[in-house]
Every structure is written in structure tokens, then in C-alpha cells.
Amino acid sequence: MCGRLAQIRAEQKYLASLAIQGQLLLPPSPDPINRYNVAPHSRVGLLRKVAQGYLWAPERWRWLPAWAEKPVRNDFNATREKVGSSPYYREVWPHRALLCVDGWYEWCSVAGQKTKQPYYIRRHDSEPLFLPAIGQFSEPGNEPKPDDGFRIITADSEGGMLDVHDRRPVVFDPENARAWMTDISSEEASRMLHEQALPVDAFHWYAVGREVGNYRNEGAGLIEPLTLPST
């Protein structure tokens, strides 16, 4: 699962790393975003393709189909095993987007402790992470509808990351992230989620302070490594 993110660097820097080819509807901001504790159901900068080009705009990190009769425990992630084939996602599957971030957090159970230990996960090379997403969006220039929003797509964890959590977001490199945003077929989009995600060994993870568990806390201190007692 992925339930907390860090979107830190400037929009301009994310887009420079992505090297997107096409018209941007709005000039990218050069100012750092500096959000170290992005929680589900908040609005977060999302890149998507529209008729006029590409748009970076704040969108709600959650989505439910209009016909859903009751809330679900997780309305902000979609599994790659189901997202391309389940009727649940049929109306939003064609609406692909990218969430550009610096890292994400997971919580791990600790023997003998009631409180889980948070970990921060980023790329080894500290490059941006491009997370594929799907969602429902309003036309550029219109106010978002109450049920607009998106989900990021997750996969099974592998290797040592299993010690932290059994799910992780799918992450693309810039080349595959650009391809995700083009008019590829549904079959090709599904194939990419399974075959083009960055492997676990592309990432580095370490324990951080429990302050990140409160979504009201912010600041660079949230991603500082925490020295755990030896066992």
C-alpha cells in the first residue's frame, strides 16, 4: 500500500527530469513544493494529458465510482492486478496521469511494540519517482467536481522491501512515464504496469521519526534517517 508521499522539488524540476514532449498549458513553477507529508484525500499536483497539451494541476488523491454504495477502506490506491480488467475501474482506466514525487512512506510492525515504525523510500540515485495513476478529471479551467480524483497504481513488493510492506507503488523511469501518457492501447498500458516498473533494487529505504504519522506535521526533518537500536 502507499498511504503517504513526499512531493518536495519544484514542478519545473520534475518536468525537466521527465523531459515531456508537448505543450504545457501553464508555465511550471520554479519554487520548491516542499510537501513532505502528503496524505490521501488531500489535493496534490498531478500531471495529465488533455486535448490542448499537458496540465499540472492539484487533484484529489482518492476516487470512488459514482455508483459505489458505501465507502471502502482504501480509495486512493488501485492494484495493477485488477486496474486494467476490473469493471470497478472501467470508467477511469482510460484517463491516465502521473504523480511526480521524491519518495513515499510505509509502516512496519516492530516486535514488542504497539506502534509501527515508519520508513521513507526513495530511489538510490535520488531522482524523481514517476507514479502511474488513473482517475476522473474535469476539463481545464472548470472547477473540479466533488467526485473528481485519482488513484495511484500499486504492485506486490519483492526482496527486502517485503520486510517493510507487501505492496508498493508502481514507479516508471522517465521513458516509460512519457509512454504512459501517450495514446497507447489498454493492453499496452497493462503490459507496462507489469513489465516496465522499476525493480526493488532501484530503491533505498530507511527508518524515520514517527512524527510523519500525523499528517499535520511537515518539514524536511520528516525524511531524516533515524538510528534504530541494534538488536
Active-site choice (11, 106, 108, 175): 106
Element (H, E) at 93: none
C-alpha cell at 57: 494541476
Is 218 tagged catalytic? no
Residue 202 has phi, psi (to 5 degrees) of -80, -10
Closest by alpha carbon to 96, among 14, 31, 13, 181? 181
Is 106 tagged catalytic? yes
Cβ 10 vs Cβ 31: under 8 Å: yes
Bridge partners of residue 204, in order along the sequence: 122
Bridge partners of residue 59, in order along the sequence: 44
Active-site choice (2, 11, 59, 100): 2
Active-site positions read: 2, 106
